[in-house]
Structure 1
Amino acid sequence: MDFPTRMYIDGALTRGAGRKAVENPATEEVIATVATAGLADAERALLAAKSAFPGWAATPIAERQRWMRRLRDEVIAEEELLRLCVHHEMGKPWAQTHEDWDRLVASLDYYAEEIARVQDVGLADRAGTHEHRMVHESAGVALAFLAWNFPLLNLAFKIGPAMAAGCPIIIRPSEATPISAYAVGMLCDRIGLPRGVVQILCTDGYEVADALTASTIPQVVTLIGSTRTGQHIMRTGATSIKRYSMELGGNAPVLVFEDADLDLAADIVTGVKFSNAGQICVSPNRVFVAEAVHEVFCKRLCARAETVLVGFDRAKDITTGPVIDVRAWRRIKGLIDSAIADGATLLAGGDRPPHLNKGHFIAPTVLDGVVETMAVYRQETFGPIVSVIPFADESRLLQMANDCDEGGLTAYVFTRDLARAEACAARLRYGEIQINGVKYDIDLPHGGIGQSGIGHDCSALALQDYLVLKRITRALDHSSFGGLNP
């Protein structure tokens, strides 16, 4: 199949200065050689976005909505192509590519509607001499760095609010998964989107990406990626004052109390952990299980792990595909081997599935007896590993759950005791607490605390990352003077 391979800069598809091979991690075969940006390409994108900003920000909301819906219609029409791009560049199971595609449709729909709900706010004047309004305006050029684990979903979380808010956006997809983003660029070109409003370019290495970040043109820098990458971007972007919106790393704890619905907990832990090969920022990492139910819960985890179908075949109901590359495979295998060497017990998986001799596959893995000193406990695994930590002392449980080098993105609590669940939710230092279930959607805020991020993806809150507030004050009497002392 011929996949899209060209960047989209200044309203046109372009080859760029470099070329990069993209491999399917399930087959280890090159599926396309795509264009990559050089410094001149990056500068051209920055200047095009800067030039587009005044006009796009001043474009009436109704017209911006029409452009977003035209793009949405093309995304719907090209579902097969867009999902094939994700399927092959990630090796993602076919059924799971639907979520990527669906979130792009949903984002364009949702933010086209939500921007019309943003209201300017009037302020009371204590002296009654002036009238005040707080007015929302476009923040400026946005620069978005995307992770590879959900190529279209991550793009969706940025392009929707940026277009709606009137911010031209430069999107830099991961060099591992640029093809689906380039397909979106192709659709922008097809509908004749105004020049500079959306630009999509892949960079190979740090030099060009750092040049984009260091530029004083972007006013908003947004990222989905690791905490380390977020720190690097903030350091590099310190050439000027910028707004940041970042969804970063997580090391999600799961608290399974003795009164929990164990089947529900096991279904959710394994469902989220083994989907997308565990390459999900909100994936359960450390599963704290009450000693009274520890043994039975481990058996249920293993039973589910054994039923997982691993592979790459559109015709089959695959649960788990490959991890993204050989480096990720070696890192994850190293975490498993290190934990076993340090005393953890391997209950399931732990290596390449025996029926797959090619591709970066790791069998769904369950480790028991994981302790705080192990790397698999301290790090975000970003792989199909469930680490079980039995507990007896509830007084230390929340302290352990909050002891997380990667910051706080998501935590899970399973108990039938509502008061206990709410008490845990109040003390867990995570941006999202999921109690006896899990739910994500475009209208629900998604964001972390501390080292896990700034701002939000999804919901009306995401729009605020692309809008600034301006105060407009008008004297009711021309002779009024309110004073200059703030």
Structure 2
Amino acid sequence: MIKEKEQLTLSDSMHFGKKNLYINGELIPASDQNYFSLICPGTEEETAEIAWATKKDTEKALLAAEEGFKMWSQTPVEERLEWIAKLSSKLFEYEDLLRTSIMHEMGKVWEGTAEDFKSITDSLAFYSEEIKDRQDIPITDKEGTHTHHIKQQPIGVVVAFLAYNFPLLNLGFKLGPAIAAGCSIILKPSEFSPLSAYILGEILHEIDFPKGVINIICGDVVNVGIPLCESKIPRLITMIGSTETAQKLIQQSSKTSIKRYSMECGGNAPFIVFDDADVDKAATIGAALKIGNTGQICVAANRYYVHEAVLQQFLDKMKSHFVAATLGFGRDGNPSMGPLANVASVIKVKGIVDKALNQGGQLLFGGKAPDRKGYFFEPTLILLPDANLPILQEEVFGPVAMVVPFKTKEQVLEWANDSDAGLASYVFSQNNDILAFFAEHLEFGEVQLNGIKYDIYLPHGGVKNSGIGVDCSSYAMDDYLTKKRVTLEKS
């Protein structure tokens, strides 16, 4: 059970104790009693012991979800919404605990944890309203001999694989539409940030949420990932993560049955700044996308294309934001940028910097991990001489901005679209014709013009290798519902 809130010491160095799997409404250790040590990226100290699921535990979760769906799908919408409201209310009671757990599992600055918490509560509220509007849809019979309507019903058991970068945001984007629609769900958080999800399991246990509807397990690919995918029980596999992971999940899950997929995969966002743009605003947003969450954002700008006429102005502004960034962990001092989530990320980001410099890049700021405890990396600014360098095809997922000058809109459009990824893109210009041109021709699921906006009611998804389906908005609900045509011949 959850410790009493007054007993929690919200220090920079704290241990959350042993956290158990949540299966069929119960908090249980792994069947082999195995726990793994979760390391806080800000302190490099153990912050929790996480139950590490076995294949037997995975099978138990699948059977629990199957039984949970039979019950939950037949539960009246009004009753489902009462349970969702009860869960949401309890989440607010434990907001401080949940945000603190995110800070310690992910290394987020305290202010950054608010987005995660708001996202899960917003998702539960949004989809509670959205399901009310999912009524039967009539279809007019052209000959007048029959009546027809479309019934929208929950698809079945959902399996959700979650990325580490936004532990509760990613979870909320899947949990909200699933349980509102009447599906049961198995949540598989990343091994790098499972703590807040396991605490959610404790909260669900505390309020006696209906058994089997929500199940939370974490473990390795062999004992958890593959069994979840290869089982015939799930009807929807949904994920937030890399393109490579999505390909593996689709391959594994299609071996036994046809399933539906909803996957938000990697991005390689272009950030285009024209000579007539508000350069101060563009640089402020461009820097925030690298400082915020330490650049570990799927929609973060990756390739900065800046018109040669304003290149130096943009670089100077970006550098000033990076110079002003304060690295740190915890609430004290209110740092603006935390560590990367794990040591592997530090190695990867340093490798990207080295490749960029070896390919002719000029280091303007940062470029290294500071000499301190924690998985920190400096915000880094690199000027590249060529838009065709191989490094520009790699998703950074860290605080590194690589800038390339351009001359014409046709030139930069070709560069921007030269990627297998197609998630987010950004354009800054005061010319409406230019904005309309890029809105039409950029090959990305999202085109943000002169600003940035994300919210639960706005669809979020990619094209090309950046995914299938969408998260957020009413469109996401479609993935969790089947459409059944019912036809009656008139007598």
Which bin holds the TM-score, normalised by the shorter protein?
A: over 0.9
Q: Distance in 1 between matches of 2:224 and 2:401?
A: 37
**Does 1:5 pair with 2:19?**
yes
Aligned with 1:460 (options 459, 470, 474): 474
Does residue 444 of structure 2 align to residue 430 of structure 1?
Answer: yes
Instruction: For residue 321 of structure 1, give the secondary structure of its aligned residue in structure 2.
Output: coil
Counterpart CA distance in 1 for 2:347 and 2:386 is 22
How is 1:26-45 mapped onto 2 (pairs within 5 angstroms)? 26-45=42-61
* Contact 1:376/1:387 (8 A) holds in 2: no
Show the 5 A alignment for 1:100-179: 100-179=116-195
* CA deviation vs aligned residue, 1:150-189 (integer Å, no higher than 9, x gap): 0010000010000000000000000111110001111111
Distance 2:397 2:390 in 1: 13
1:447, 1:394 → 2: CA distance?
Answer: 25
Q: Which amino acid aligns with 2:460?
A: H
**1:124-153 Cα deviation digits (max 9, x unpaired):** 111111000011000000000000000010
Q: 2-side partners of 1:361 and 1:11: how far apart?
A: 38
The answer on whether the counterparts of 1:336 and 1:376 sit within 8 Å (CA) in structure 2 is no
The amino acid across from 1:335 in the alignment is I
Three-state SS of the structure 2 residue aligned to 1:382 is: coil
Moved more, 239-248 or 203-212: 203-212
Residues 48-87 of structure 1 mapped to structure 2, 5 A cutoff: 48-87=64-103
Match of 2:4 in 1: none
> Structure 1 residue aligned with 2:372, among 335, 354, 357?
357
The counterpart of 2:276, out of the listed 245, 250, 259, is 259
Q: How far did 1:375 drift?
A: 4.2
Distance change >3 Å, CA 95–CA 153, structure 1 → 2: same
Deviation, 1:220, is 0.4
Q: 2:453 aligns with which of 427, 439, 452?
A: 439
Corresponding position of 2:11: none
1:58 is paired with a residue whose SS is coil
* Residues 356-413 of structure 1 deviation map (CA, whole Å, 9 limit, x = unaligned): 42111110000002534434311110000011010113322111100113x1000000
Aligned partner of 1:483 in structure 2 is none
**In structure 1, how many angstroms separate the alpha carbons of the residues matched to 2:243 and 2:387?**
20
Contact 1:227 1:249 in 2 (8 A): yes
Is the Cα contact below 8 Å between 1:3 and 1:179 reproduced in 2? no
67-76 vs 361-370, greater mean Cα deviation: 361-370
Query: What amino acid is the match of 1:157?
Result: F
What is the deviation of 1:4? Answer: 5.9
Q: 2:236 is matched with which residue?
A: 220
Structure-2 residue corresponding to 1:98: 114
Equivalent residues in 2 for 1:335-484, closer than 5 Å:
335-353=352-370, 356-405=371-420, 407-477=421-491
1:336–1:375 Cα change, 3 Å: farther
Determine whether 1:88 maps to 2:99.
no
Which residue is 2:306 aligned to? 289
- What's the secondary structure of 2:19's corresponding residue? coil
Query: How many angstroms does 1:110 deviate by?
Result: 1.0
Larger CA deviation: 391-400 vs 445-454: 391-400
Unaligned runs of 5+ in 2: 1-14
What code does the residue aligned with 1:306 have?
Answer: V
- Equivalent in the alignment of 2:9: none
- Which of 292, 311, 318 is 2:335 aligned to? 318
Q: Quickly say closer, same or farther: Cα 1:266–1:206, change in 2 above 3 A.
A: farther
Q: What is the root-mean-square deviation in Å for CA atoms of aligned residues?
A: 1.1
Do the aligned partners of 1:53 and 1:140 also contact (CA within 8 Å) in 2? yes
The CA distance in 2 between the partners of 1:210 and 1:131, in whole Å, is: 44
Q: Tell me if the contact between 1:252 and 1:283 (Cα under 8 Å) persists in the aligned partners.
A: yes
Identity %: 44
The question of whether the paired residues in 1 share the 8 Å contact of 2:17 and 2:49 is answered with no
Determine if contact 2:53/2:223 at 8 Å carries over to the other structure: no
Structure 1 counterpart of 2:489, one-letter code: A
Please say which of residues 145-154 and 368-377 is displaced more in the overlay: 368-377
**SS of residue paired to 2:129:** helix
Q: Secondary structure at the match of 2:266?
A: coil
Q: 1:370, 1:377 within 8 Å by CA — same for their partners in 2?
A: no
The letter for the 2-side match of 1:100 is D
Contact 1:323 1:362 in 2 (8 A): yes
Distance 1:373 1:331, change over 3 A: farther
Counterpart code for 2:181: A
Moved more, 363-372 or 132-141: 363-372
Count of residue pairs brought into register by the alignment: 474
> Is 2:103–2:330's contact at 8 Å kept on the other side of the alignment?
no
Deviations 1:41-65 (A, max 9, x none): 0001101111121221111111110
Question: Residue 481 of structure 1 aligns with which residue?
Answer: none
Q: Distance in 2 between matches of 1:359 and 1:206?
A: 30
TM-score normalised by the chain length of structure 1:
0.96
1:267-278 paired onto structure 2 within 5 Å = 267-278=284-295
Does structure 1 retain, via aligned residues, the 8 Å contact 2:18–2:49? no
SS in 2 for 1:340: helix
Q: Is the 8 A contact 1:335 1:375 kept in 2?
A: no
1:20, 1:204 within 8 Å by CA — same for their partners in 2? no
Gaps of 5+ in 1: 478-486
The alpha carbon displacement at 1:463 in A equals 0.7
